[in-house]
Amino acid sequence: MNLEQAFDTRQNALNAWRLILATTVIVGHSFILTGHPWIGAHYLADGGVDGFFAVSGFLITASWLRHPHLRDYSAARVLRILPGYYVCLVVTAFVIAPIGVAIQGGAALKLLLSTAPVEYVAMNSAVVLLKADVGGTPQGVPYPGSWDSSLWTLAFELACYAVVAAIGMAGLAHRRWVSPVILAVAVVGEALSPPVAPDQPWAGQFAAVTARFAVMFAAGALLYQWRDKIPARWWLVAVSAAVVTLGGTLLPHYRLLGGIPLAYAIIASGALLRHKRLRLRTDLSYGVYIYAFPIQQLLVISWPGRPNPVVHAIVATIATLPVAALSWFLVEKPAMSLKSRLLSKWATAEAVDLMVDEPTDELPEPA
Protein backbone atom coordinates (compact mmCIF):
# COMPACT_ATOMS: atom_id res chain seq x y z
CA MET A 1 0.00 0.00 0.00
CA ASN A 2 1.35 3.41 -0.92
CA LEU A 3 0.87 6.68 0.93
CA GLU A 4 -1.84 7.85 -1.47
CA GLN A 5 -3.90 4.73 -0.77
CA ALA A 6 -3.29 4.92 2.98
CA PHE A 7 -4.14 8.59 3.46
CA ASP A 8 -7.82 9.42 3.88
CA THR A 9 -8.56 13.12 4.30
CA ARG A 10 -11.35 12.33 6.79
CA GLN A 11 -9.89 9.30 8.55
CA ASN A 12 -6.38 10.05 9.71
CA ALA A 13 -4.54 10.89 12.90
CA LEU A 14 -2.74 14.05 11.80
CA ASN A 15 -4.73 16.29 14.16
CA ALA A 16 -3.80 13.94 16.98
CA TRP A 17 -0.20 14.09 15.84
CA ARG A 18 -0.25 17.89 15.81
CA LEU A 19 -1.56 17.92 19.37
CA ILE A 20 1.27 15.57 20.37
CA LEU A 21 3.79 17.84 18.64
CA ALA A 22 2.43 20.90 20.46
CA THR A 23 2.74 19.02 23.75
CA THR A 24 6.31 18.06 22.87
CA VAL A 25 7.10 21.75 22.45
CA ILE A 26 5.65 22.38 25.92
CA VAL A 27 7.93 19.74 27.44
CA GLY A 28 11.00 21.16 25.71
CA HIS A 29 10.16 24.71 26.77
CA SER A 30 9.55 23.66 30.38
CA PHE A 31 13.22 22.79 30.84
CA ILE A 32 14.24 26.16 29.40
CA LEU A 33 11.67 28.25 31.27
CA THR A 34 12.33 26.63 34.63
CA GLY A 35 16.07 27.12 34.34
CA HIS A 36 17.04 23.47 33.90
CA PRO A 37 19.38 23.37 30.89
CA TRP A 38 19.23 20.04 29.09
CA ILE A 39 20.31 19.33 25.53
CA GLY A 40 17.31 17.05 25.06
CA ALA A 41 14.97 20.00 25.67
CA HIS A 42 16.34 21.65 22.55
CA TYR A 43 15.60 18.57 20.45
CA LEU A 44 12.11 18.17 21.92
CA ALA A 45 11.09 21.76 21.22
CA ASP A 46 12.74 21.89 17.79
CA GLY A 47 11.44 18.46 16.82
CA GLY A 48 7.90 19.44 17.71
CA VAL A 49 8.03 22.58 15.58
CA ASP A 50 9.76 20.72 12.74
CA GLY A 51 6.97 18.16 12.80
CA PHE A 52 4.41 20.95 12.46
CA PHE A 53 6.18 22.24 9.36
CA ALA A 54 6.33 18.78 7.81
CA VAL A 55 2.59 18.22 8.31
CA SER A 56 1.89 21.71 6.95
CA GLY A 57 4.00 21.01 3.88
CA PHE A 58 1.98 17.87 3.19
CA LEU A 59 -1.47 19.37 3.81
CA ILE A 60 -0.90 22.82 2.29
CA THR A 61 0.52 21.32 -0.90
CA ALA A 62 -2.53 19.06 -1.04
CA SER A 63 -4.81 22.06 -0.51
CA TRP A 64 -3.33 24.00 -3.44
CA LEU A 65 -3.34 21.03 -5.81
CA ARG A 66 -6.98 20.26 -5.01
CA HIS A 67 -8.11 23.87 -5.39
CA PRO A 68 -5.51 26.02 -7.17
CA HIS A 69 -7.16 29.43 -6.81
CA LEU A 70 -5.10 32.18 -5.18
CA ARG A 71 -7.99 34.10 -3.62
CA ASP A 72 -9.55 31.03 -2.03
CA TYR A 73 -6.19 29.66 -0.93
CA SER A 74 -5.12 32.96 0.62
CA ALA A 75 -8.41 33.43 2.45
CA ALA A 76 -8.22 29.92 3.88
CA ARG A 77 -4.64 30.38 5.11
CA VAL A 78 -5.22 33.85 6.57
CA LEU A 79 -8.43 32.89 8.38
CA ARG A 80 -6.75 29.82 9.88
CA ILE A 81 -3.77 31.67 11.34
CA LEU A 82 -4.49 35.36 11.95
CA PRO A 83 -7.69 35.48 14.07
CA GLY A 84 -6.27 33.18 16.74
CA TYR A 85 -2.93 34.95 16.58
CA TYR A 86 -4.37 38.43 17.12
CA VAL A 87 -6.59 37.32 19.98
CA CYS A 88 -3.57 35.65 21.58
CA LEU A 89 -1.61 38.91 21.36
CA VAL A 90 -4.44 40.80 23.07
CA VAL A 91 -4.92 38.17 25.78
CA THR A 92 -1.19 38.03 26.48
CA ALA A 93 -0.79 41.81 26.66
CA PHE A 94 -3.97 42.75 28.52
CA VAL A 95 -4.65 39.67 30.66
CA ILE A 96 -1.68 37.34 31.16
CA ALA A 97 1.07 39.95 31.58
CA PRO A 98 -0.88 42.02 34.18
CA ILE A 99 -1.75 38.82 36.08
CA GLY A 100 1.93 37.91 36.16
CA VAL A 101 2.83 41.34 37.51
CA ALA A 102 0.08 41.11 40.14
CA ILE A 103 1.30 37.69 41.32
CA GLN A 104 4.76 39.18 41.83
CA GLY A 105 3.28 42.04 43.85
CA GLY A 106 3.81 44.65 41.14
CA ALA A 107 1.58 47.42 39.83
CA ALA A 108 -0.63 45.46 37.45
CA LEU A 109 -3.08 48.33 36.92
CA LYS A 110 -0.23 50.67 36.07
CA LEU A 111 0.97 48.23 33.42
CA LEU A 112 -2.54 47.76 32.09
CA LEU A 113 -3.12 51.50 31.75
CA SER A 114 0.26 52.16 30.18
CA THR A 115 1.04 52.06 26.47
CA ALA A 116 3.00 48.80 26.85
CA PRO A 117 0.13 46.38 26.08
CA VAL A 118 -0.87 48.36 22.99
CA GLU A 119 2.76 48.51 21.86
CA TYR A 120 3.09 44.75 22.24
CA VAL A 121 0.04 44.12 20.05
CA ALA A 122 0.89 46.78 17.48
CA MET A 123 4.56 45.86 17.07
CA ASN A 124 3.75 42.18 16.58
CA SER A 125 0.70 42.71 14.37
CA ALA A 126 2.59 41.91 11.16
CA VAL A 127 3.13 38.34 12.45
CA VAL A 128 6.79 39.11 13.05
CA LEU A 129 7.78 38.97 16.71
CA LEU A 130 9.43 42.36 17.12
CA LYS A 131 8.57 42.81 20.81
CA ALA A 132 8.66 39.88 23.22
CA ASP A 133 8.08 41.73 26.50
CA VAL A 134 5.15 43.76 27.81
CA GLY A 135 6.55 46.77 29.62
CA GLY A 136 9.74 44.89 30.47
CA THR A 137 7.86 41.92 31.92
CA PRO A 138 8.16 39.11 32.80
CA GLN A 139 10.94 39.69 35.31
CA GLY A 140 12.45 37.54 38.02
CA VAL A 141 12.17 34.33 35.98
CA PRO A 142 14.88 32.13 34.40
CA TYR A 143 13.79 33.30 30.93
CA PRO A 144 12.97 37.01 31.40
CA GLY A 145 11.66 39.55 28.94
CA SER A 146 9.54 37.23 26.81
CA TRP A 147 5.90 36.28 27.18
CA ASP A 148 5.40 34.19 24.05
CA SER A 149 8.53 33.19 22.20
CA SER A 150 6.64 30.48 20.32
CA LEU A 151 5.08 33.06 18.01
CA TRP A 152 8.23 33.80 16.01
CA THR A 153 7.84 30.64 13.93
CA LEU A 154 4.49 31.75 12.48
CA ALA A 155 6.14 34.24 10.12
CA PHE A 156 8.06 31.36 8.55
CA GLU A 157 4.89 29.28 8.34
CA LEU A 158 3.15 32.06 6.41
CA ALA A 159 6.22 32.46 4.21
CA CYS A 160 5.99 28.77 3.30
CA TYR A 161 2.33 29.27 2.38
CA ALA A 162 3.34 32.16 0.14
CA VAL A 163 6.00 30.04 -1.59
CA VAL A 164 3.41 27.33 -2.34
CA ALA A 165 1.14 29.98 -3.86
CA ALA A 166 3.99 31.43 -5.91
CA ILE A 167 4.93 27.99 -7.23
CA GLY A 168 1.29 27.36 -8.07
CA MET A 169 0.83 30.68 -9.85
CA ALA A 170 3.98 29.95 -11.86
CA GLY A 171 2.34 26.75 -13.08
CA LEU A 172 4.87 24.49 -11.37
CA ALA A 173 2.74 22.96 -8.62
CA HIS A 174 2.23 19.71 -10.53
CA ARG A 175 5.89 19.39 -11.49
CA ARG A 176 7.30 16.66 -9.26
CA TRP A 177 10.86 17.91 -9.46
CA VAL A 178 10.06 21.14 -7.63
CA SER A 179 9.87 19.85 -4.06
CA PRO A 180 13.03 17.67 -4.34
CA VAL A 181 14.97 20.62 -5.74
CA ILE A 182 13.79 22.95 -2.97
CA LEU A 183 14.55 20.28 -0.39
CA ALA A 184 18.06 19.74 -1.78
CA VAL A 185 18.82 23.47 -1.78
CA ALA A 186 17.48 23.81 1.77
CA VAL A 187 19.56 20.86 3.00
CA VAL A 188 22.70 22.40 1.50
CA GLY A 189 21.80 25.74 3.08
CA GLU A 190 21.39 24.17 6.49
CA ALA A 191 24.60 22.17 6.11
CA LEU A 192 26.48 25.41 5.49
CA SER A 193 24.85 27.19 8.45
CA PRO A 194 26.36 27.01 11.93
CA PRO A 195 24.00 26.04 14.77
CA VAL A 196 21.90 29.01 15.87
CA ALA A 197 23.40 30.76 18.90
CA PRO A 198 22.38 33.94 20.79
CA ASP A 199 25.66 35.69 19.89
CA GLN A 200 25.34 34.81 16.20
CA PRO A 201 24.73 37.75 13.80
CA TRP A 202 21.07 38.25 12.89
CA ALA A 203 21.66 37.46 9.21
CA GLY A 204 23.23 34.13 10.10
CA GLN A 205 20.37 33.20 12.42
CA PHE A 206 17.81 34.13 9.79
CA ALA A 207 19.54 32.07 7.10
CA ALA A 208 19.81 29.07 9.42
CA VAL A 209 16.18 29.02 10.53
CA THR A 210 14.98 29.70 6.97
CA ALA A 211 16.89 26.64 5.77
CA ARG A 212 15.60 24.61 8.72
CA PHE A 213 11.95 25.31 8.05
CA ALA A 214 12.40 24.99 4.29
CA VAL A 215 13.81 21.49 4.81
CA MET A 216 10.83 20.36 6.86
CA PHE A 217 8.10 22.02 4.79
CA ALA A 218 9.64 20.76 1.54
CA ALA A 219 9.91 17.26 3.04
CA GLY A 220 6.17 17.26 3.70
CA ALA A 221 5.45 18.66 0.24
CA LEU A 222 7.63 15.99 -1.36
CA LEU A 223 5.75 13.24 0.46
CA TYR A 224 2.48 14.56 -0.94
CA GLN A 225 3.70 15.05 -4.50
CA TRP A 226 5.21 11.55 -4.58
CA ARG A 227 2.53 9.87 -2.45
CA ASP A 228 1.65 7.35 -5.16
CA LYS A 229 5.26 6.13 -5.24
CA ILE A 230 6.01 6.11 -1.50
CA PRO A 231 5.04 2.98 0.47
CA ALA A 232 3.19 3.36 3.76
CA ARG A 233 4.53 0.68 6.08
CA TRP A 234 4.91 0.48 9.83
CA TRP A 235 8.40 -0.95 9.56
CA LEU A 236 9.43 2.09 7.53
CA VAL A 237 7.97 4.32 10.25
CA ALA A 238 10.15 2.51 12.80
CA VAL A 239 13.25 2.80 10.62
CA SER A 240 12.53 6.50 10.06
CA ALA A 241 12.26 7.12 13.81
CA ALA A 242 15.60 5.37 14.30
CA VAL A 243 17.22 7.51 11.59
CA VAL A 244 15.90 10.69 13.25
CA THR A 245 17.42 9.58 16.55
CA LEU A 246 20.71 8.76 14.83
CA GLY A 247 20.77 12.16 13.15
CA GLY A 248 20.23 13.90 16.48
CA THR A 249 23.11 11.94 17.96
CA LEU A 250 25.66 12.41 15.18
CA LEU A 251 24.95 15.77 13.56
CA PRO A 252 24.60 19.39 14.73
CA HIS A 253 21.61 19.66 12.38
CA TYR A 254 19.71 16.37 12.68
CA ARG A 255 17.52 17.39 9.74
CA LEU A 256 20.41 16.76 7.33
CA LEU A 257 19.82 13.08 7.96
CA GLY A 258 16.43 13.03 9.64
CA GLY A 259 14.33 15.67 7.86
CA ILE A 260 12.50 13.36 5.46
CA PRO A 261 12.44 10.45 7.96
CA LEU A 262 10.76 12.67 10.59
CA ALA A 263 8.21 13.87 8.05
CA TYR A 264 7.59 10.30 6.90
CA ALA A 265 7.27 8.89 10.43
CA ILE A 266 4.61 11.46 11.34
CA ILE A 267 2.64 11.53 8.08
CA ALA A 268 2.75 7.80 7.31
CA SER A 269 1.76 6.83 10.85
CA GLY A 270 -0.94 9.50 10.77
CA ALA A 271 -2.28 7.90 7.60
CA LEU A 272 -2.05 4.34 8.92
CA LEU A 273 -3.68 5.04 12.28
CA ARG A 274 -7.42 4.76 11.62
CA HIS A 275 -8.82 4.39 15.15
CA LYS A 276 -11.87 6.63 15.53
CA ARG A 277 -10.59 8.08 18.80
CA LEU A 278 -7.57 9.44 16.96
CA ARG A 279 -9.68 11.16 14.29
CA LEU A 280 -9.86 14.47 16.13
CA ARG A 281 -12.37 16.89 14.64
CA THR A 282 -11.48 19.52 17.23
CA ASP A 283 -8.00 20.79 16.40
CA LEU A 284 -6.58 22.25 19.61
CA SER A 285 -2.96 22.09 18.48
CA TYR A 286 -2.71 25.70 17.28
CA GLY A 287 -4.23 27.06 20.47
CA VAL A 288 -1.95 24.87 22.57
CA TYR A 289 1.06 26.08 20.61
CA ILE A 290 0.37 29.82 20.84
CA TYR A 291 -0.90 29.92 24.45
CA ALA A 292 1.38 27.41 26.18
CA PHE A 293 4.43 29.67 26.47
CA PRO A 294 2.73 32.56 28.34
CA ILE A 295 0.90 30.09 30.58
CA GLN A 296 4.20 28.37 31.31
CA GLN A 297 5.72 31.72 32.26
CA LEU A 298 2.78 32.40 34.58
CA LEU A 299 3.30 29.04 36.24
CA VAL A 300 6.99 29.77 36.81
CA ILE A 301 6.07 33.11 38.37
CA SER A 302 3.46 31.60 40.68
CA TRP A 303 5.33 28.37 41.51
CA PRO A 304 6.75 28.17 45.05
CA GLY A 305 10.47 27.67 44.59
CA ARG A 306 12.07 26.29 41.45
CA PRO A 307 9.64 23.99 39.61
CA ASN A 308 10.56 20.53 38.42
CA PRO A 309 10.47 20.75 34.60
CA VAL A 310 8.53 17.51 34.11
CA VAL A 311 5.89 18.45 36.68
CA HIS A 312 5.81 21.95 35.23
CA ALA A 313 5.21 20.53 31.73
CA ILE A 314 2.35 18.33 32.96
CA VAL A 315 0.65 21.20 34.81
CA ALA A 316 1.23 23.55 31.88
CA THR A 317 -0.37 21.10 29.45
CA ILE A 318 -3.40 20.66 31.71
CA ALA A 319 -3.72 24.43 32.15
CA THR A 320 -3.28 25.19 28.44
CA LEU A 321 -5.84 22.75 27.04
CA PRO A 322 -8.93 24.66 28.29
CA VAL A 323 -7.52 27.92 26.92
CA ALA A 324 -6.83 26.22 23.59
CA ALA A 325 -10.40 24.90 23.59
CA LEU A 326 -11.74 28.43 24.12
CA SER A 327 -9.55 29.65 21.27
CA TRP A 328 -10.88 26.89 19.01
CA PHE A 329 -14.57 27.26 19.75
CA LEU A 330 -14.71 31.06 20.13
CA VAL A 331 -12.15 32.21 17.56
CA GLU A 332 -10.65 29.61 15.23
CA LYS A 333 -13.73 27.55 14.39
CA PRO A 334 -15.93 30.62 13.68
CA ALA A 335 -13.14 31.99 11.47
CA MET A 336 -13.04 28.72 9.56
CA SER A 337 -16.82 28.82 9.21
CA LEU A 338 -16.46 32.30 7.74
CA LYS A 339 -13.91 30.85 5.33
CA SER A 340 -16.39 28.20 4.22
CA ARG A 341 -19.11 30.80 3.69
CA LEU A 342 -16.78 33.04 1.70
CA LEU A 343 -15.60 30.21 -0.53
CA SER A 344 -19.18 29.09 -1.12
CA LYS A 345 -20.25 32.65 -1.93
CA TRP A 346 -17.37 33.14 -4.35
CA ALA A 347 -18.02 29.80 -6.03
CA THR A 348 -21.69 30.71 -6.51
CA ALA A 349 -20.78 34.12 -7.93
CA GLU A 350 -18.31 32.56 -10.36
CA ALA A 351 -20.90 30.02 -11.48
CA VAL A 352 -23.39 32.81 -12.19
CA ASP A 353 -20.75 34.76 -14.10
CA LEU A 354 -19.99 31.69 -16.23
CA MET A 355 -23.66 31.25 -17.03
CA VAL A 356 -23.99 34.90 -18.03
CA ASP A 357 -20.81 34.91 -20.11
CA GLU A 358 -21.35 31.51 -21.75
CA PRO A 359 -21.79 31.91 -25.53
CA THR A 360 -24.87 30.43 -27.13
CA ASP A 361 -25.47 29.04 -30.58
CA GLU A 362 -29.16 29.84 -30.45
CA LEU A 363 -30.45 32.57 -32.75
CA PRO A 364 -32.37 35.42 -31.14
CA GLU A 365 -36.11 35.32 -31.37
CA PRO A 366 -37.43 37.38 -34.30
CA ALA A 367 -38.77 40.78 -33.33
The reply to whether 367 falls in a domain is no
The reply to whether 13 falls in a domain is yes
Q: For each of the chain's 367 residues, which pLDDT tens digit applies?
A: 999 999 998 889 999 999 999 999 999 999 999 999 888 888 899 999 999 999 999 999 999 999 999 999 999 999 999 999 999 999 999 999 999 999 999 999 999 999 999 999 999 999 999 999 999 999 999 999 999 999 999 999 999 999 999 999 999 999 999 999 999 999 999 999 887 777 778 888 899 999 999 999 999 999 999 999 999 999 999 999 999 999 988 888 899 999 999 999 999 999 999 888 888 888 999 999 999 999 999 999 999 888 999 999 999 999 999 999 999 999 999 999 887 788 777 777 666 655 555 554 444 444 3
Taking a C-beta distance cutoff of 8 angstroms, is the pair 244, 258 a contact?
Answer: yes
The reply to whether 53 falls in a domain is yes
The reply to whether 240 falls in a domain is yes
The reply to whether 361 falls in a domain is no
Global confidence as pTM: 0.92
Please state, in angstroms and as integers, the Cα–Cα distance from residue 159 to each residue in 63, 72, 151, 190, 242, following that order.
16, 17, 14, 17, 30
Taking a C-beta distance cutoff of 8 angstroms, is the pair 230, 261 a contact?
Answer: no
The reply to whether 68 falls in a domain is yes
- Residue-number span of the structural domain to which 83 is assigned: 3-351
Number of structural domains found in the chain? 1
The reply to whether 358 falls in a domain is no
The reply to whether 357 falls in a domain is no
